[in-house]
Amino acid sequence: MQSKTENKTLLQKADNFSEWYNEILKRAEILDVRYPVKGVYTWYPYGYKLRNLTYSILKALMDREHEEVLFPLLIPKDELMKEKEHIKGFEDEVFWVTKGGSTDLDIPLALRPTSETAIYPVFKVWIRSHRDLPIRIYQVVNAFRYETKHTRPLIRLREITSFKEAHTAHASRADAEKQIKTAIATYQEFFDLLAVPYIITRRPNWDKFPGSEYSIAFDTLMPDGKTMQIATCHLLGESFARTFDIKYEDDDGALKFVNQTCYGISERCIAAVIALHGDDHGLVLPPEVAPIQVVIVPIVFSSKGKSEAVEKACSEVYDGLKEAGIRAFLDDSDERPGAKYYRWEMKGVPLRIEIGPRDLSSNSCVFVRRTDFQRIPVPLSDVVPEVNRAIKEIQELIHELAKETFFANIHISKCAIEDKEGMDELRRTAEHNIVSLFLCEDERCGADLEQRIGVTVLGVAINENEGDGKCIICSRKARRVYVARAY
RNA sequence: GGGGCAGUAGGGUAGCCAGGUUAUCCUCGUGGCUUUGGGAGCCAUGGACCCCAGUUCGAAUCUGGGCUGCCCCA
């Protein structure tokens, strides 16, 4: 599996993002797309390590106030169909299990497209009293959606392999709303650790999660200028509680419906890490999630009899890093150093340490950072603290670069519909940028705008207190919304 | 949702129209020797016609269906 570098040519990220993305997944051994079912893919060991490190961060954040659970993959049809609005949003993309062997099942079973209808009947049984509340649970599971549009690894899948979904139930709406705020803050922490910049918006009513009162979404900007939704938080209110009859007895003895929320993140977060930070040499992984944070490359001359000293120095450095809890790898394979450099650059290893006879003569080694290929001599005695410093710096550098690009691509528009030229320019800008403009809440205005300039309305930015303006379409009172071409 | 194109070894290609033991390249695999401060060289060698059905003496090639992928339009 660990093939030699497959291709010498550099990849052109800026020219053809789509091709770059597919090549990177293959060459860096993240995902193998050669599986004969549409929209489902195989994680390579390296990719799966990246996935697990990313999700261990997410789980640690969730574990602060949630408990991890595991609900079944199969959902009986009658449960799935209970919530009318909810099922309307999903029915065209549900996979069905209709047979057991050669026998038709009495009740067809759905492969979960999401787990509300699996979890909430159980909530009904679990919740009796206000003392049972709040309930906060999450699970990391696979989910299935029969996507009819063209599928894309990690981004548009028929099997979502890494769906982290949280579900909470509360005694009051205020508690539920508070939970949404906490969830948003947690997700902010998460994406900050991944060095992935985002905007947070409240989705328009016509685009909210089916069955919810409102949906808050995180979007990032991909290198091809389209936004990608990377997280959502939904206030469900009492709608599912009424459907699934989830009631609790309050301290005054009255039976009341619970208030619910749910929020989720999928492997799109990994697609974002890959897409945003990578360059023409391959992946650039933030040290926080890099399966290998430091690779040590020995420079060995077998003919000169110096290899033993080099090998010894490399193992000592390796042992020191391991002991310090750093994810290090010593590449003592038979390949030439140059081949190793290219390999580990492709795989996004943040820091490389080279140790050769020349370095040993001065008791030092050379650090090379993946971000800018800067070469820094470091005394062997300082390796561990210097590595710690370097990976911290690299993490910050990656984040700064990503934010810089992101915010440079958000444009404020003051355009009005009568301004023909302005609208043309807006259309061009929106091809590769996020645009902020005034739009009212009327679905017809949204649809009109989407059609005119070829964008999706992402929603009103939360935490932004800019005053009202005039809707770009109808001139009625409106708030600032973000629009962009979206994945 | 509509239309078009494609699928040949790990990755690329040619062959298909006009059916006859396929072939070729590589930064692929394997073995060997020489190498090793930015993708090593030589020699030897390995491996494929997407699946199912049909036509035919004979199918990578023709026909039909399926699966998978890509592109364009909405």
| A301 in the same domain as A269 | no
- What number is the average pLDDT over the span A420-436? 90
Please indicate, yes or no, if residue A213 is contained in any of the structural domains.
Answer: yes
Rounded to whole angstroms, the Cα distance separating A241 from A118 reads 13
| A344 in the same domain as A415 | no
| A313 in the same domain as A379 | yes
| A305 in the same domain as A423 | no
| A373 in the same domain as A480 | no
Distance between the alpha carbon (CA) of A378 and the C1' atom of B6, Å: 53
A148: confidence class by pLDDT, cuts 50, 70, 90:
confident
Distance between the alpha carbon (CA) of A109 and the C1' atom of B51, Å: 29
Give CA angle at A441 (A433, A457), nearest 5°.
20
| A337 in the same domain as A438 | no
- Whether any strand B atom is under 7 angstroms from the Cβ of A451: the reply reads no
Distance between the alpha carbon (CA) of A483 and the C1' atom of B73, Å: 23
Check whether A6 has a pLDDT greater than 70.
no
Percent of chain A with pLDDT over 70: 97
Select the more confidently predicted residue: A334 or A322. Answer: A322
CB of A191 closer than 8 Å to CB of A230: yes
What is the reported pLDDT for A306?
Answer: 59
| Range A27-36, long-range pairs (CB < 8 A, 24+ positions) | A27/A282, A27/A346, A28/A282, A28/A283, A28/A346, A28/A347, A28/A348, A29/A1, A29/A2, A29/A347, A30/A270, A30/A274, A30/A283, A31/A153, A31/A154, A33/A153
CB of A485 closer than 8 Å to CB of A430: yes
Residues 271-310 of A with CB under 7 A from strand B: 281, 299-303
| CATH for A416 | 3.30.110.30
Check whether A215 has a pLDDT greater than 70.
yes
Check whether A209 has a pLDDT greater than 70.
yes
Please indicate, yes or no, if residue A332 is contained in any of the structural domains.
Answer: yes
What is the reported pLDDT for A302?
Answer: 61
Q: Is the dihedral of CA A189, A190, A196, A201 positive or negative?
A: negative
| A425 in the same domain as A389 | no
- Whether any strand B atom is under 7 angstroms from the Cβ of A420: the reply reads no
A246: confidence class by pLDDT, cuts 50, 70, 90:
very high
CB of A4 closer than 8 Å to CB of A335: yes
Check whether A4 has a pLDDT greater than 50.
no
- Whether any strand B atom is under 7 angstroms from the Cβ of A16: the reply reads no
What is the reported pLDDT for A467?
Answer: 74
- Whether any strand B atom is under 7 angstroms from the Cβ of A152: the reply reads yes
What is the reported pLDDT for A424?
Answer: 87
Residue that the structure tokens 């998460």 belong to: A190
- Whether any strand B atom is under 7 angstroms from the Cβ of A358: the reply reads yes
Nearest nt (C1') to A37 (CA)? B68
Check whether A3 has a pLDDT greater than 60.
no
Q: Write the pLDDT tens digit of every residue in A247-293.
A: 999 999 999 999 999 999 999 999 999 999 999 999 999 999 999 99
- What number is the average pLDDT over the span A231-243? 97
Rounded to whole angstroms, the Cα distance separating A367 from A387 reads 9
User: What's the token pair of residue A407?
Assistant: 């915010």
Please indicate, yes or no, if residue A378 is contained in any of the structural domains.
Answer: yes
What is the reported pLDDT for A303?
Answer: 54
Check whether A1 has a pLDDT greater than 70.
no
Distance between the alpha carbon (CA) of A7 and the C1' atom of B25, Å: 14
Please indicate, yes or no, if residue A302 is contained in any of the structural domains.
Answer: yes
| A154 in the same domain as A224 | yes
Q: Quote the DSSP letter at residue A5.
A: P
Q: Comparing A129-138, A369-378, A415-424, which segment has the lowest mean pLDDT? A: A415-424
Nearest nt (C1') to A454 (CA)? B74
What's chain A's average pLDDT? 92
Nearest nt (C1') to A342 (CA)? B39
Select the more confidently predicted residue: A92 or A109. Answer: A109
Check whether A294 has a pLDDT greater than 50.
yes
Rounded to whole angstroms, the Cα distance separating A417 from A120 reads 46
Which residues span the domain enclosing A174?
A: 17-277
Distance between the alpha carbon (CA) of A26 and the C1' atom of B10, Å: 12
- Whether any strand B atom is under 7 angstroms from the Cβ of A187: the reply reads no
A304: confidence class by pLDDT, cuts 50, 70, 90:
low
Distance between the alpha carbon (CA) of A1 and the C1' atom of B45, Å: 21
Question: Please, how many CA atoms are within 13 Å of residue A186, restricted to the half-sphere of its CB?
Answer: 23
Q: Comparing A4-8, A143-147, A163-167, which segment has the lowest mean pLDDT? A: A4-8
| A204 in the same domain as A339 | no
Per the structure, the count of domains in chain A is 3
